[in-house]
Structures are given as structure tokens and as C-alpha cells.
Structure 1
Amino acid sequence: MPSVDFDFYSLDSATQSHILQTTPALYPPGGQESNFDNPPNGTATAAVLLVIFLSLITVSISARVYVRFFCIKERALADYLLILGYAIIIVSFSLTLQVSQRPGFFVHQYNVRLGDFIWLLKNIFIVKQLNSVAICLIKVAILLDWIRIFAPTGRCFVYWASHALIWANIVFFVALLVVYNIVCTPYARNWDIMLKGNCSRTNIHDTNLAISIFTIASDFLILAIPQRAIWSLHMSTKRKFSVSAIFAIGILACALALVRSIEMMLQSSWTDITYAYSVGVICGAAELTCGILTISVPSLPKALSSIRFREFASWLSLSTKKHRWFRSQMANTRVPTALARPSHRLTWHEMEARGNSPASVATANHQLFPFDSNQTLLHEDVDIERGIHRST
């Protein structure tokens, strides 16, 4: 980002506000004017895609947690890392969706106010660090799952390759966070282009190139590790294809990582940052979603099979029939006149005036306890948890 030639913050607040609200973040091409109020955009499409991605992540993570914590009750470090990663993704997506309010997605930079552009740069600065942490946690969780599944006891190829990739990812992403936070002086220069300073401590092109190479290489290696173990198992070829297909969703994650890497390389030379950012947001969100699905999809069949839809429907139907039977029985039962419910609730003074006759006692009890605790309303029992009907 270029440096300003004057001290913007030495101006009075009214002048600062006027500049930020009336100046475009990029001069428009020849013959065009900036459109701040209703610029061409793809905000609605991008917002819908982000909501879909977040829904897929939520459903898959919920299925994984439900199976691991409540069905088989075998919790592992990978599960806790996924939960932490999911919490970070929620924050990241929340901040990203705020862009739909201002300046919007797929909006050219010359249609964005300078003040909104500075806000967007700060949003990008925070989100890219949150996504880096989330991606690291997801990759480590996947690799720990590979060790749990394919190398539970022996220290074989899967064990050593997974551990090597775990530590490589941790070191790389920690170094990346350090680079993100030391590149500009002063620190606020990372997003505030009106602040005098520079961002020359690192080369953006070289940084993006390193991120792209490492991301693509690690994604393909993570995908390849379980394939060797799967194809070495003693099972039919058809069964091997079936098991291998479960992890094939990682291929899409690799493809998206490749697209996002190309976009990052182009973005380092593009001047229209707001439009390029929108492309990166969609690709990055899709990559995160595929990473979550890679580790969570195997839990979906178990989660669905544990939900007893048929038994629940049977229990619900049985409960409705019992309720109707009870109402018909009550309607056909004649209540003695002495015990009939009065047209209004008797006060304690009225009860006392009637004395302690059996009728008054019965009336008081009926008002306080409409159903006798000793009365059996249903002659058959229902196991609510399993939906099994049992005769007594």
C-alpha cells in the first residue's frame, strides 16, 4: 500500500470526515464516475454462499461431536481441536458477513468510499489471521484422525508422515502469523492507508507465493497419506474404492486451495483489491468447508442411524391415540352431583362455611389437584426414549 504525502490526522475532524466520505478508494477509469450509493455488486450471491458453507460446517461438526461424545463416547484431541476451530470459524464468518453491509461483495474499488475501504482492510487483516488459525487446527485434527484410524498402535508410515505434517503446519502458520503482524510500521498501517508509515518489512508477492506452495503441497499430502493405508488393507477392490471415496472430498479442497492460491498471486499485483478480495473470500470459505467435511462426513451415517425417526413417529402417534382415548373416557363418565365441579372456584371462606363434609373436602381436592395422583390415566406404558410400546 502506498504512503501518504501529508499528515492526514493533523487535519481537523470535519475535514477528515469529508475526505473519508467523499473520496473514492481508487480513481475510476476514464469516462466513469464513482457510484457509492448503489454500485454493481454480487453481495446477495456471496452472502447466500457463505450462509450455505456455514450451515454445512455446523451440521457436519454437530454430527461429529454427537457421535464422538454421546454415541461411542470416545473423545480425542482432534475433536476438541475441531470444536475450537469451529468457534474461530463462527467469528470469522460473522466478520466476513459484515462486509455485505458495507461496502459489499464484488464491488469495484472505485465505487467504495475511502472510509469504508479502510474499514474493509481492517476486517481483512483480522479475518485472514483467524482463518489461518482455523485452517491449522483443522489440518492438525485431520492428521491426528489419520493416526487414530490407520496407525492406532504401530509406528508405521502413516504415523511418521502425519506427525511430520502436523509439526510442519504448526511451524508454518505460527511463522505466518508473525509475518502478518510485523510487516507494517506503525502497526495500524496494516489497514489504515492514511497513516504515515510503510509495509516494506516483507515482500507481499513472496509471502503469497510461499503460502500458496505450502498450502497446495500440504493439502495433497494430507489427502495422500490415508490412501496408501487404505489400499494396503485386506479387502476387496470394490470395498477399497468405497472407503477411499469417503476421503475424496479432500480433492475438492485441494482444487479450491489451488484456485485461491492463484487468486492470491494475482491479487498482489491487482489494484482493485475489493473485487479480488471477494473472490478470495468465497474460495477460502469453500476450502474451510471441505476441510471440515473431510473429517466429519464419516460420522454422518452413524449420527443418522442413531436417530430413531421411525420409533419417534410411532411414539408420537401412540401418544395422540392415548390422549383421544382419555378424553373420550372422561366425556362418557358421569360425575356424581355432590362431587360436580362448581361453576366458580370456591374460596376458603366458602369451604369453611360448608364445613368438613366429604363433599367439601372432595371439592377442595379437585380444585387443587384436578387429577388424582393415585388414578392410572394410561393402562399401558410408553418408553419415551426408545419409543417402544409395552403393555402392563
Structure 2
Amino acid sequence: MSGIMDLLQQFPNLPLAQQQEILNSPGMTPPDGVEPNFDHPANRNDLAIAISVICITLVTFSALIRGYSKLFLAKRVRVEDYLGLLAFGGYVGIACTYYMQLHYGGFFVRQWDVRLRDLQVVYEYAIIFALLYHIPMLFAKTAILLEWIHIFVPNHNRARNRFFWLARFMMILNILMYFSVFIAMCFSCIPLKANWTPWLTGKCIDKEALYITTASFNLVMDVFILLLPQRIIWKLQMTRNKKIGVSIIFSFGILSVLCAAGRLYATQHLSYQTKGDTNYGIGPLYLWSFSEVTCVLLVFNIPGMPMAFTEGRLGSWIRKLPKGMSSKNSRAPSTWPRTNRNINEYHSIEGHSHAHLTSMELSNTKDFRTPYNHGPALGDEGIMYLTDYKVGVNDDLRGYNGSNFASYHGPEA
């Protein structure tokens, strides 16, 4: 190994023919009796493609449904929606670097089955992936915490509780951590090109310690985001089944926790450059990281999706499905509830069933376009609702983009 490193250090001064010979040689000395296979090496590219297609499909679908709800049903866009859009842009970037690894290094391909010239590209895009990874994580987690403040502390401009301050603290910590790690990675080697150019002398930091620290922080942050809303959800005055339904909507973060744990494990067991089979170990790191970012974006998108299936043309079509299916398959009368009330009197509490709010002492001439009325932060009775609402027929509340609302009577004694 030392002889190869000495030869690489002299690479710029070698004849062109010898340089090409070195670049076409294996990226690592193979074990005794093993012949490098550059053309058809053993790999798990099929697994990598399947995971990427599933992840990209889920994120794109959920983002489109959320965007439809916000733009055409709620007709209101907040700061967190713009942050979510930036996070999606970063997600597209890491998807591109993911496929560059698929093309040049492959997934679970031994390093001696990769030419040195391709291995350089692998290292370069690994650095780019690590940098781009922080963009969706920074913007998406900040957007999640901002939206949850709007949901669970609707009067946060006037009344701030423990949830508000915990969310704000986590938001600031998230921003500072990801921003500082992004800067550290930009200067992980001076010049940065020394990361993937072995004959270029540079001053480099301990990237292994940096990556493990980042992965550990991701895991801790994902756990806190998962647990943050659960206490309030289980204090809402609604049936246990509805509590479970709302809790599930806000519990998709458990998937990101699992992926963050997998990423930490892959980071700890990665053989870094010049220390072992880096190309083989980098495959699991890509898979866990890409899946983690996917789950974080789903945590942001999913709570804004249910209204698309309960309101507007799509919601109207879905509401007609049970009636049409029952009348088609049976002569018995449809069990779908009939009513002469205006549909605006109803809204979804868990994204599937309808609930009717009564006993609301509100004038039917009021239109609440500012977010929320009362919420879990207050001791008196109020309504927790995902975004906006206005008073409709018979003094009922109708959500604009929503998903969930529930009667709340303050914290339990």
C-alpha cells in the first residue's frame, strides 16, 4: 500500500502513458487469488434502484398532494412551505449524487472491482452528497418545527408554553448544527479537491469524527421531533381511536429514527479512504441517508395531505366512492350518510371520517383568516386545527387546508 501511495504522490510528474495505466488500475489491491472484474462486478444495484424509486415516488406524491391542499384548498402559504420547497430542491440534488454512485461505483461493489479513475469520481460525489444532505435536513426539520408551533400553539404570539420553547430551542439547535457542519465539510480539506485527488497535498480534518458526530445528532434530533407532539395529542378531548389516528399522522418520524440509527451504524463501520474497502462501505451509507431524508420530508408533507382527500373535487369524488360501490354490489340502500346540511359544516379530524362541531358560540358572519382561535396552550376550551378556519353555516367551523381539529379543554390536572 505504501508503494502505491508513493507512486500516486509522484503522479503529476509521471509520463502520460504511465498515468493512464495507473488510472485504469484497480482502486484497491485485490486479495490473493482474486481477479478484478471491472465490467460485471458483483453488486446490489437492483436493491439501490428499487429503494430510490420508492423513496422518490413517495416524496414527490406527498409533496404534490400537500401543495395542492395549500395552494388550491387552503389558499394560504406560510414560511414553512417555502422551506419545504427548498428542502425538496436539496432532495433532488442528493438523488442525483445517489445515481452518480450507482453509475461509477455501484452499490456493494468491492473496491478492487472499480478503476482508480472511477473511484476518484466516487469520492468526489460522496463529498457532494454529504454537503447536499444537510440542505433538506436543515430546511425540512426547521419547517416541521415551525408548522408544529402553528398547530399546537396557535396563539403563540400572545401565549407561549413549554411546547413552544422546546420547539424553538430545537429549531435553533438544528440550524446551528447543520450550518456549522456544512461549513466544516466545505473545509474538510484545504483545498477541497484533496478529498478525491490522492496526489494533491492538502490539510484535512478528521472526517470520521465529523461524520459520526453528525449522524449521532441526526438520531437524537429525530427522536425529539417524534416525541414532541405526542403529549399534547393524548390530552385532546376526543375518542381513543381518533387520538390514535392523529398520533399516527404525527408518528411517521419513527421511520426517520430507524433510518438515522441505520445511518449512524453505517457511518461507524465505514472504512475511510486509504483505510479499507471504502466503495463497498459507502453503499449502505447512501441507502440509509437517502431513506432518512425521504422520511423527514414525509414527516413534513403527510400532516398537510388529508384535506386533499376530504375537500374539493378529489374529496367529493372519494366521498361518492362508498355510495357507488355499495349500490353497484348490493341492492340494499347505501350506508353512506345522507344529509341536507351544507358540506362546509363538516371537516375531517383524522383525515378519513367527518366530525360535526356544535355548541360554538360564534357569529356566522365572522371570517377567521388569521391562524387559529384557541388551542392547547390555553386553559379554556378551544379548537386545535392545522391551519385556518372560518365560521360557516349554523356557526360551524370549516377548515381551509386542514386535516385535524379537536376540542381541547386545557391540560389535565
Residue 277 of structure 1: CA displacement? 1.0
1:178 aligns with 2:180: no
Q: How far is the alpha carbon of 1:228 from its aligned partner?
A: 1.6
Q: Does 1:34 align with 2:39?
A: no
Counterpart of 2:242 (choices 234, 239, 242) is 239
Alignment-derived partner of residue 317 in structure 1: none
Question: Is the 2:43–2:106 contact (alpha carbons within 8 Å) kept by the matching residues of 1?
Answer: yes
Task: Determine if contact 1:34/1:111 at 8 Å carries over to the other structure.
Answer: yes
| Distance in 2 of aligned mates of 1:247 and 1:293 | 10
- 1:194 is aligned to 199
Aligned match of 2:48: 46
1:296 aligns with 2:301: yes
**How much has 1:186 moved relative to structure 2?**
2.7
Q: Is the 2:266–2:285 contact (alpha carbons within 8 Å) kept by the matching residues of 1?
A: yes
Give yes or no for contact 2:142–2:171 (8 Å, CA) kept in 1.
Answer: yes
Aligned-pair CA distance for 1:252: 1.3
Structure 2 counterpart of 1:101, one-letter code: H
Structure 2 letter corresponding to 1:31: G
Compared CA separation, residues 142 and 11, structure 1 to 2 (3 A): same
Contact 2:45/2:107, CA 8 A, preserved across alignment: yes
Cα shift at 1:52: 1.6
- Greater shift, 304-313 or 68-77, is seen at 304-313
- 1:168 aligns to 2:176 (yes or no): no
1:298 deviation in Å?
2.3
Report the alpha carbon displacement of residue 236 of structure 1 after superposing the two structures with TM.
2.7
8 A contact 1:106–1:278 mirrored in 2? yes
Aligned equivalent of 2:351: none
Instruction: List runs of 5+ in structure 2 lacking aligned partners.
Output: 322-413
Corresponding residue for 1:104?
Answer: 106
For residue 36 of structure 1, give the secondary structure of its aligned residue in structure 2.
coil
Is contact 1:4–1:195 with CA below 8 Å preserved after alignment?
no
| Alpha-carbon contact 2:188-2:207 (below 8 Å) kept | no
Q: Alpha-carbon deviation of 1:109?
A: 0.7
Whether 1:81 aligns to 2:83 is yes
What is the TM-score normalised by the length of structure 2?
0.71
Whether 2:130 is the aligned partner of 1:125: answer no
- Find the counterpart in structure 2 of residue 58 from structure 1: 60
Task: Give the corresponding residue for 1:271.
Answer: 276
Aligned length: 310
State the Cα distance separating 1:231 from its structure 2 match. 1.8
Residues in 1 aligned to 2:108 and 2:219: alpha-carbon distance in whole angstroms: 25
Which aligned pairs between 1:222-233 and structure 2 lie closer than 5 A? 222-233=225-236
- Whose helix proportion is higher, 1 or 2? 1
SS in 1 for 2:229: helix
Alignment of 1:1-392 (within 5 A): 4-5=5-6, 6-21=9-24, 23-153=25-155, 154-199=159-204, 202-268=205-271, 271-305=276-310, 306=312, 307=314, 308-309=316-317
Would you say the 8 A contact 1:85–1:134 is kept in 2?
yes
CA contact (8 A) 1:54 1:289 kept: yes
Aligned pair in 2 of structure 1 residues 41, 268: CA closer, same or farther (>3 Å)? closer
How far residue 99 of structure 1 moved from its aligned partner, in angstroms, is 2.5
Offset, 1:294: 1.2
Q: In 2, distance between residues paired with 1:310 and 1:131? A: 37
1:287-330, CA deviations, whole angstroms, 9 ceiling, x for partnerless residues? 111111112122333223332547999xxxxxxxxxxxxxxxxx
Q: Is the 8 A contact 2:48 2:107 kept in 1?
A: yes
**Is 1:57–1:292's contact at 8 Å kept on the other side of the alignment?**
yes
Report the Cα distance in structure 2 between the residues aligned to 1:24 and 1:4, rounded to whole angstroms: 13
Q: 1:63-92, CA deviations, whole angstroms, 9 ceiling, x for partnerless residues?
A: 111111211112111111111111121122
Q: CA RMSD in A?
A: 2.2
8 Å CA contact 2:94–2:290 kept in 1: the answer is: no
In the alignment, the residues of structure 2 paired with residue 65 and residue 49 of structure 1 have an alpha-carbon distance, to the nearest angstrom, of 24
Counterpart-to-counterpart distance in 1, 2:211 and 2:287? 18
What is the CA–CA distance in structure 2 between the aligned matches of 1:278 and 1:58, rounded to whole Å? 23
> Per the alignment, in what secondary structure is the counterpart of residue 155 of structure 1?
coil
- Structure 1 distance, partners of 2:17, 2:153, is 65
Of 180-189 and 301-310, more deviation after overlay is shown by: 301-310
Deviations 1:2-35 (A, max 9, x none): 99433312223333222101x1111111221111
